[in-house]
């Protein structure tokens, strides 16, 4: 099958969050399946162009029409394939739109990504490349299924579209004049683009795509309700028949305690006790915490944003400090949370450490060193770090929502099943209850050992999710 994937970011080229990880792991796994031919389209951002390690060759250029504008587009192809089955990677070049320091956060983001979606379709036509399936991701590529239906059907007759939602909070809202001034769609699409008097690109993609997917089974159910949908519940409910949830995998070759170069000591499930102990002692030294092998080390590695459930952690923090524990927070974000954790670490220097920065090496060392991983997210489309934590033998404590519910079945001490500790309703006392249960089991070495082994041995690779995407693609092709 010819599969084209289109995204605004992908590791290792340009990544700001989980979407970037998914766009490395999923295309690679799909490309490994015999009979597949996978292409990935990305913007040629400044940071990719300037990265000497990424060599791309010029293929062609063409003009892209956006309403009254006609903009240049250059098409580049990644030169060096590292493995035989790697996807072909194309970059869309335009200095004016992508020659900037950041990825997102510009006033004209709407125009930049409408341009990108249209340029990718023009590139397919120019390449004489007719994919069977085009998979697009989040609002930045939401215009692609819309443009395809409205203007490219004759040129790309075979292409079915899948629109994948990773984050429903960002929908690509624009002023009503965006329709005439930028999009340049046929008049009949005015209603498709309209939502509450504005333009909403994600809403239009949900209407136009042949299938809509999201990144976990539970989240696919949740977003039909107002609490989760940020206004899109109505449109998702009326298009529920094309909505599927496929839980993400993680890149098991990147997140592997056996080979991760950031660790002071590598380990597998065979020798995890010695390995984790060495990493724990090292991190306690590195962060200036007392070196105490027996004290449970709890960690949270996250953007410090409200929906990650930080208010719950703030709520239980003082109670936690009364226990024999250590707590390490790694991440940056909202000022109120940074202040809170900075204050906590100052008040309890023996027990709490606030690492208010973005540091991938430290993240790896913490996954390896910690005993318990906290993730009380208010909502979570999938979440990847709970899976990374489990691969490193760190037991998750999570709110049972979205992908957290699908990837962390609750521990049943009687039966000896489950992978972590969960709570069901978003409040601090229930979170505290789950933390307490995890600490209790931590002090029962046999049960704890069995739990860590289950966590480390669970298959979180992209293999199964990629097969589910293939099933979806095949259903679309009928």
**Contact status, residue 189 vs residue 208, Cβ threshold 8 Å:** no
Nearer of residues 214 and 353 to ligand GLC, judged by Cβ = 214
| Segment interacting with ligand GLC, rule: CB under 6 A, options 1-9, 17-25, 27-35, 334-342 | 17-25
Q: Between residue 227 and residue 266, which ones bind ligand GLC under the rule CB under 6 A?
A: 248
Nearer of residues 168 and 470 to ligand GLC, judged by Cβ = 168
* Residue from the set 257, 381, 393, 428 that interacts with ligand GLC by CB under 6 A: 381
Nearer of residues 133 and 375 to ligand GLC, judged by Cβ = 375
Q: What 3-state DSSP class applies to 247?
A: coil
The count of residues interacting with ligand GLC (CB under 6 A) is 14
Q: How far is the CB of 5 from ligand GLC (least distance, A)?
A: 13
Q: Between residue 286 and residue 315, which ones bind ligand GLC under the rule CB under 6 A?
A: none
Q: How far is the CB of 160 from ligand GLC (least distance, A)?
A: 21
Cα–Cα separations (whole angstroms), residue 27 to 115, 125, 402: 23, 21, 23
Question: Strand pairing of 160-165 and 88-93?
Answer: unpaired
Indicate whether 345 belongs to the interface with ligand GLC (CB under 6 A). Answer: no
Q: How far is the CB of 382 from ligand GLC (least distance, A)?
A: 3
Indicate whether 54 belongs to the interface with ligand GLC (CB under 6 A). Answer: no
Contacts (Cβ under 8 Å, ≥6 apart) of 472: 162, 211, 213, 244, 246
* Residue from the set 18, 27, 43, 309 that interacts with ligand GLC by CB under 6 A: 18
Question: Strand pairing of 395-399 and 69-78?
Answer: unpaired
Indicate whether 380 belongs to the interface with ligand GLC (CB under 6 A). Answer: yes
Q: How far is the CB of 219 from ligand GLC (least distance, A)?
A: 8
* Residue from the set 39, 143, 202, 215 that interacts with ligand GLC by CB under 6 A: 215
Nearer of residues 5 and 215 to ligand GLC, judged by Cβ = 215
Q: How far is the CB of 390 from ligand GLC (least distance, A)?
A: 14
| Segment interacting with ligand GLC, rule: CB under 6 A, options 15-23, 126-134, 149-157, 282-290 | 15-23
Tell me which H or E stretch contains 238: helix 233-238
Angular region, 373: left φ>0, alpha ψ -120 to 50, beta rest: beta
Indicate whether 25 belongs to the interface with ligand GLC (CB under 6 A). Answer: no
Structural Rg of the chain based on CA atoms: 23
| Segment interacting with ligand GLC, rule: CB under 6 A, options 78-86, 170-178, 354-362, 376-384 | 376-384
Q: How far is the CB of 473 from ligand GLC (least distance, A)?
A: 18
Q: Between residue 124 and residue 183, which ones bind ligand GLC under the rule CB under 6 A?
A: 166-167
| Segment interacting with ligand GLC, rule: CB under 6 A, options 186-194, 288-296, 374-382, 458-466 | 374-382
Indicate whether 391 belongs to the interface with ligand GLC (CB under 6 A). Answer: no
| Segment interacting with ligand GLC, rule: CB under 6 A, options 14-22, 61-69, 84-92, 323-331 | 14-22
Cα–Cα separations (whole angstroms), residue 254 to 24, 51, 202, 257, 262: 11, 20, 31, 9, 11
Neighbour count for residue 349 (Cβ, 10 Å)? 12
- Give the end-to-end CA distance of the chain in Å, rounded to a whole number: 13
Neighbour count for residue 255 (Cβ, 10 Å)? 21
Q: How far is the CB of 104 from ligand GLC (least distance, A)?
A: 13
Nearer of residues 345 and 466 to ligand GLC, judged by Cβ = 466
**Alpha-carbon gap, residue 182 to 205, rounded angstroms:** 17
| Residue (of 164, 251, 217) closest to 405 by Cα position | 217
What x-and-dash track marks residues 394-433 binding ligand GLC by CB under 6 A? ---------x------------------------------
State both tokens at 270: 């065979």
Indicate whether 383 belongs to the interface with ligand GLC (CB under 6 A). Answer: yes
Contacts (Cβ under 8 Å, ≥6 apart) of 153: none
Cα–Cα separations (whole angstroms), residue 375 to 74, 169, 272, 332, 448: 42, 19, 23, 15, 19
Q: How far is the CB of 75 from ligand GLC (least distance, A)?
A: 27
**Alpha-carbon gap, residue 158 to 91, rounded angstroms:** 23
Cα–Cα separations (whole angstroms), residue 179 to 64, 97, 105: 16, 19, 20
Indicate whether 7 belongs to the interface with ligand GLC (CB under 6 A). Answer: no
Contacts (Cβ under 8 Å, ≥6 apart) of 84: none
**Alpha-carbon gap, residue 283 to 217, rounded angstroms:** 36
Instruction: Let me know if 286 is exposed, middle or buried by CB neighbors in 10 A (0-12, 13-18, 19+).
Output: middle
- What is the number of the residue whose Cβ is closest to ligand GLC? 18
**Alpha-carbon gap, residue 282 to 328, rounded angstroms:** 14
* Residue from the set 4, 10, 204, 382 that interacts with ligand GLC by CB under 6 A: 382
Q: How far is the CB of 477 from ligand GLC (least distance, A)?
A: 24
Binding site for ligand GLC (CB under 6 A): 17-19, 22, 166-167, 215, 248, 380-384, 403
């Amino acid at each position: 099958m010819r599969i084209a994937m289109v995204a605004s970011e992908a590791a290792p080229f340009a990544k700001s969050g989980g979407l970037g990880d998914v766009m490395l792991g999923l295309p690679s796994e799909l490309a490994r399946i015999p009979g597949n031919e996978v292409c990935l389209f990305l913007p040629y951002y400044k940071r990719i162009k300037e990265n000497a390690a990424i060599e791309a060759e010029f293929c062609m250029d063409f003009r892209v029409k956006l309403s009254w504008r006609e903009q240049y587009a250059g098409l580049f192809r990644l030169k060096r394939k590292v493995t035989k089955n790697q996807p072909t990677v194309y970059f869309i070049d335009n200095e004016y739109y992508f020659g900037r320091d950041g990825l997102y956060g510009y006033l004209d983001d709407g125009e930049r990504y409408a341009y990108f979606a249209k340029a990718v379709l023009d590139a397919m036509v120019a390449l004489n490349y007719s994919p069977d399936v085009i998979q697009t991701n989040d609002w930045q590529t939401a215009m692609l299924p819309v443009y395809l239906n409205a203007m490219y059907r004759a040129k790309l007759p075979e292409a079915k579209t899948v629109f994948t939602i990773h984050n429903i909070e960002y929908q690509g809202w624009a002023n009503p004049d965006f329709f005439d001034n930028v999009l340049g769609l046929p008049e009949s699409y005015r209603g498709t683009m309209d939502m509450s008097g504005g333009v909403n690109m994600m809403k239009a993609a949900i209407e136009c795509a042949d299938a809509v997917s999201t990144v976990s089974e539970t989240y696919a159910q949740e977003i039909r309700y107002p609490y989760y949908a940020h206004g899109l519940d109505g449109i998702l409910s009326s298009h529920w028949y094309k909505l599927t949830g496929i839980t993400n995998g993680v890149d098991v070759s990147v997140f592997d305690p056996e080979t991760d170069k950031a660790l002071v000591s590598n380990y597998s499930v065979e020798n995890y006790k010695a390995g984790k102990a060495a990493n724990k002692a090292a991190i306690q030294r590195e962060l200036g915490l007392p070196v105490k092998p027996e004290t449970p080390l709890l960690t949270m590695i996250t953007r410090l944003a409200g929906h990650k459930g930080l208010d719950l952690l703030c709520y239980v923090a003082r109670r936690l400090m009364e226990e024999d524990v250590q707590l390490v927070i790694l991440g940056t974000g909202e000022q109120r949370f940074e202040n809170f954790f900075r204050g906590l670490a100052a008040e309890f220097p023996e027990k709490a450490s606030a690492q208010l920065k973005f540091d991938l090496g430290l993240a790896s060392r913490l996954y390896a060193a910690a005993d318990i991983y906290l993730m009380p997210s208010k909502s979570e489309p999938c979440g990847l770090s709970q899976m990374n934590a489990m691969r490193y033998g760190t037991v998750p404590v999570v709110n049972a929502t979205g992908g957290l519910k699908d990837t962390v079945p609750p521990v049943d001490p009687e039966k000896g099943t489950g992978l972590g500790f969960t709570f069901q309703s978003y409040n601090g006392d229930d979170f505290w209850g789950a933390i307490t249960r995890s600490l209790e089991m931590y002090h029962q070495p046999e049960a704890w050992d069995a739990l860590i082994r289950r966590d480390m041995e669970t298959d979180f690779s992209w293999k199964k999710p990629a097969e589910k995407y293939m099933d979806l693609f095949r259903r679309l092709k009928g």
